[in-house]
Amino acid sequence: MPPRKTAKKSAKKKSARKKASSSANKRKNSKKSRKSSSWLPQVLTAPFLLINRLTDRLNFFIKWPLRLVLSFGFIFSSIGIIVGTFYFLRASHFDLKQVEEMPARSIIYASDRRTEIGRMHGDNRLLVELDEVSDYFTSALLAREDSRFYYHFGVDPVGLARALVRDIKDKSMTQGASTLTMQLARNSFDIQAKPGQGSALKSLDRKMLEIALAFRIESHFSKKEILKHYVNRIFWGHNMRGVEAASRTYFEKSAKDLTLSEAAMLAGIIRGPNSFSPFRSIERATSERDTTLARMVDNQFITQAEADQAKTEKLQIRPEDRRLAQGSYAMDAIRRDLDLILEDERIDIGGLTIITTIDHNIQKAAERAMEKHLRTVERKPGYNHQTRSQYQHYLKTAQPEKTKPPKYIQGAAVVIENRSGAVLAVVGGRDADESMFNRAKYAKRQIGSIFKPFVYLTAFNNGMQAQTWIRDTPLRPGEIKGAQRSWNPRNSDGKYYKYVTAEEALIRSRNTSSVRVGDFARMDRVHTTANDVGFTQKLPNTPAAYLGSWEATPWQVASAYTIFPNNGERYRPYLIQEIRNGDQVLYRNSKLVYSAASRGAAWETNKVLQKVAQRGTGAAIKSKFSSPAAGKTGTTDNYQDAWFAGYTTAVTCSVWVGMDQPQRTIDRGYGSTLALPIWIDIIKEADEVGYAAGSFNPPMAMKQARLCRWSAKRATKECEKLGSAYTTEAPADTLPGQHEFCPFHPSKAQPVNENKRAPRAIPVR
């Protein structure tokens, strides 16, 4: 078998050759791998080897220090190139057109479409060329913010080093070392690290990006262009941006007409525009002016004599009565409503014309009334809290960044036009600059007796009449459904009567009889009424809810009370009538109205509330306001909250007075003494400026009926015998049916001996 042996030998030889080839390839690849991996260390060490070679022949004491300096220099240079390249690439993605783009501000007008009450959104509307700005201001700006502006390329190494030292000492990365160019980059692209947000590393990252953007800006714009964009963009407090807007707002003049003193003040307050605003503290603004003048002298922009002369000039700031409502509570409410109406990107563009419902005269009158009467309260014996004057004195001496919120007595008011829901005025406190919290819309405070009319409204809607007799005696354990046996609310005057009419119980704000009215109306029905009139929060499921032992805002209270003059209808409250972009209408409000209560029940409650203003807890109205009005006072336990909510045929207004942290205001601090005087002043102004109060007319034909005072049903002969029958005139939808006779006194019944068993004051369910 020779051929087979030959084949086997041949196969063996081929296998051997393959193994040898594979082994050779492995050795070859291994050499290549070693060769390829050896170049990296060589490249990395080459600069250091070169440094060693260049310094090899030097003296030992010169050679090694020089090698260390050159080596570290090379390392840091390499890192700098890498970092610089990284941030240059990041900065290249930003569009430099944003530096020039400064959208117009949206102008907010009052309901008359002429009175400007503020501006919002956008960066600036009053753009100016640098030639239209006073030379005094440009000099003051450079002296205060960047004296080497014309000698650097976006970053000032001296200033940067100084800031880094401060940052290291303060253990933060907040000093900035910002040149005007860096500030322009920060404001144009919104890249600054906000205080308290992020780590120091993130802040450093933003600062490096800011530097890279500053270099790009310097390479793209001339120094004059950079300065122009800066003065048009910079923030000056009170929602103002740009030197022209600041000059017109603070001094009522153009930026080209600024004096040296005025220019120095504007430049001085840039570092803290809200804290150093002359609207808040003329002393602080003046101090910043003097500091700026001193720096102008140091940098040889002006002489010492010119600085001394400027310091003697009294700053003529725009009077308070001519200031725009930039930081007002009305503007706060408008801004929030606008955010709900327009999409975010549309708001940011700005340049809109916004027509609001605010009546400028009523708004100002409400603000004046609030401050006038609360200052009077602060002077009353027994007022033991901080006064606003004390707080203002404190602001003059406190550090801006460490100021505490005020603790003086506050108030809130909301005025609504009845037949539209248009909000005519919003006062959320005594001063928005001192406390921006809008109490009118967001302060939830216990409303107390202010809620009682809605309990009676529910009862009237379910068969009770204004002349129905109600027990006013102390509550008996187990008498009121859902009440704990120990719950025993008392009448505020400490007096109790065998019975009173429902009308009298509401006029005199009786607690025990009001709880019995609520018990008749039923908890679930009262909750439904509350939701229908605008109290959308969850009410407590206990009888204490009948007495208003829960919280609501003045905005909610005002809107809810509009159903009484509107005969049960409620219009959705709104602040913005129309939004325009030039001739294009972007939004126009459409009235939203619905029936929140039956017309008859609303009318009956309205009649009773008119009597509150005539002879009840709101009787002070009749001596100061001759037109028809109605309303209800409210005072919570320990005089913590004082309320008055009332209306004419034209407008409804709610007023709240109290402390921000619930506590006793003042002894006998009733709604009638603290809130009602403010309400009267506001309503009188509304009546005078066109919202005239008329007569309250019934919403439907009135009908007469003979009813029983105990049951509110048709009177029987036995009711007549007992003396409980009476004749009333009421809306037909509140009267019992023709065959709904008194169940307490059927015709064959005998008079009840009240000493043995008193009849129920209200119908049995």
Distances (CA, A) of 415 to 238, 456, 559, 592, 652: 25, 24, 9, 18, 6
Mean pLDDT of 159-165: 65
* Sign of the CA dihedral with 21 first, then 24, 30, and 33 last: negative
Of 445 and 748, the one with more pLDDT: 445
pLDDT score, position 654: 98
Nearest partner of 223 among 292, 302, 151, 159, judged by Cα: 151
pLDDT band at residue 349, thresholds of 50, 70 and 90?
Answer: low
Task: Tell me the backbone φ, ψ of residue 588, rounded to 5 degrees.
Answer: -140, 125
Nearest partner of 228 among 148, 302, 121, 132, judged by Cα: 132
Query: How many angstroms separate the CA atoms of 372 and 374, rounded?
Result: 6
Of 162 and 439, the one with more pLDDT: 439
Query: What percent of the chain shows pLDDT beyond 70?
Result: 82
Mean pLDDT of 372-386: 95
DSSP letters spanning 328-396: -HHHHHHHHHHHHHS-HHHHHH---EEEES--HHHHHHHHHHHHHHHHHHHTSTT--S--HHHHHHHHH
Instruction: Yes or no: say if 211 and 186 are a contact pair by the CB < 8 Å rule.
Output: no
Which uninterrupted H or E stretch holds 74?
helix 60-91
DSSP letters spanning 281-312: -HHHHHHHHHHHHHHHHHTTSS-HHHHHHHHT
Token output for 600: 């008859």
Asked whether the predicted pLDDT for residue 88 surpasses 80, the reply is no
Q: Which numeric CATH code is attached to 361-447+551-694? A: 3.40.710.10
Token output for 16: 């051997």
Asked whether the predicted pLDDT for residue 581 surpasses 90, the reply is no
Give the lowest-confidence range in 54-58, 495-499, 512-516, 623-627: 54-58
Asked whether the predicted pLDDT for residue 506 surpasses 80, the reply is yes
Q: Residues 6 or more apart from 739 whose CB is under 8 A from it?
A: 714
pLDDT band at residue 20, thresholds of 50, 70 and 90?
Answer: low
Mean pLDDT of 314-339: 79
171 burial (CB, 10 Å; 0-12 / 13-18 / 19+) is: exposed
Instruction: Yes or no: say if 709 and 468 are a contact pair by the CB < 8 Å rule.
Output: yes
Of 216 and 551, the one with more pLDDT: 551
Mean pLDDT of 462-478: 93
Q: Residues 6 or more apart from 210 whose CB is under 8 A from it?
A: 178, 182, 185, 186, 191, 192
Of 80 and 192, the one with more pLDDT: 80
Token output for 307: 């600085």
Helix pair angle (452-460, 511-521), 10° resolution: 40
Instruction: Yes or no: say if 137 and 128 are a contact pair by the CB < 8 Å rule.
Output: no
Mean pLDDT of 577-592: 88
Asked whether the predicted pLDDT for residue 764 surpasses 50, the reply is no
Task: Tell me the backbone φ, ψ of residue 485, rounded to 5 degrees.
Answer: -60, -30
pLDDT score, position 576: 94
Asked whether the predicted pLDDT for residue 759 surpasses 60, the reply is no
Single-letter amino acid code for the residue at 510: R
Q: Which residue has 């209270």 as its token pair?
A: 557
Which uninterrupted H or E stretch holds 731?
strand 725-731
353 burial (CB, 10 Å; 0-12 / 13-18 / 19+) is: middle
Distances (CA, A) of 350 to 123, 230, 238, 342: 8, 19, 17, 11
pLDDT band at residue 629, thresholds of 50, 70 and 90?
Answer: very high
Specify which residues 702 forms β-bridges with. 731
Mean pLDDT of 257-281: 91
Asked whether the predicted pLDDT for residue 260 surpasses 90, the reply is yes
Nearest partner of 660 among 330, 386, 400, 392, judged by Cα: 386
Tell me the CATH number of domain 124-322, given options 3.30.2350.10, 3.40.50.2000, 1.10.3810.10, 1.10.357.10.
Answer: 1.10.3810.10
Pairing mode, strands 569-571 and 593-595:
antiparallel
Pairing mode, strands 106-109 and 353-356:
parallel
Token output for 557: 């209270």
Token output for 754: 């009240």
Mean pLDDT of 120-140: 81
Specify which residues 704 forms β-bridges with. 729
Of 216 and 27, the one with more pLDDT: 216
pLDDT band at residue 21, thresholds of 50, 70 and 90?
Answer: low
323 burial (CB, 10 Å; 0-12 / 13-18 / 19+) is: middle
Mean pLDDT of 366-394: 94
pLDDT score, position 558: 98
Which uninterrupted H or E stretch holds 750?
none
Single-letter amino acid code for the residue at 341: I
Please state the domain extents for the chain: 41-93, 124-322, 361-447+551-694
Asked whether the predicted pLDDT for residue 754 surpasses 80, the reply is no
DSSP letters spanning 102-143: -PPPEEEE-TTSS-EEEEESSS-S----GGGS-HHHHHHHHH
Instruction: Yes or no: say if 586 and 342 are a contact pair by the CB < 8 Å rule.
Output: yes
Query: How many angstroms separate the CA atoms of 478 and 482, rounded?
Result: 8
Q: Which residue has 């005696």 as its token pair?
A: 473
* Sign of the CA dihedral with 67 first, then 73, 77, and 80 last: positive
Instruction: Yes or no: say if 164 and 316 are a contact pair by the CB < 8 Å rule.
Output: no
Which uninterrupted H or E stretch holds 570?
strand 569-571
Task: Tell me the backbone φ, ψ of residue 120, rounded to 5 degrees.
Answer: -155, 165
Asked whether the predicted pLDDT for residue 466 surpasses 70, the reply is yes
CA atoms within 13 A of residue 268's CA, in its CB half-sphere: 25
End-to-end CA distance of the chain: 122
CA 671 to the chain's CA centroid: 26
Q: Which residue has 């003065």 as its token pair?
A: 231
Instruction: Write the DSSP symbol of residue 199.
Output: -
Report how many helices (DSSP H) and strands (DSSP E) the chain contains, helices first: 26, 18
pLDDT band at residue 28, thresholds of 50, 70 and 90?
Answer: low
Q: Which residue has 């609520």 as its token pair?
A: 518
pLDDT score, position 4: 47
Query: How many angstroms separate the CA atoms of 409 and 200, rounded?
Result: 41
Query: How many angstroms separate the CA atoms of 75 and 191, rounded?
Result: 29
Which uninterrupted H or E stretch holds 587?
strand 584-588
Query: How many angstroms separate the CA atoms of 503 and 565, rounded?
Result: 18
Give the lowest-confidence range in 121-125, 626-630, 672-676: 121-125
Give the lowest-confidence range in 146-150, 425-429, 687-691: 146-150
pLDDT score, position 220: 86
Distances (CA, A) of 144 to 266, 269, 287, 647: 10, 10, 13, 55
Mean pLDDT of 57-82: 74
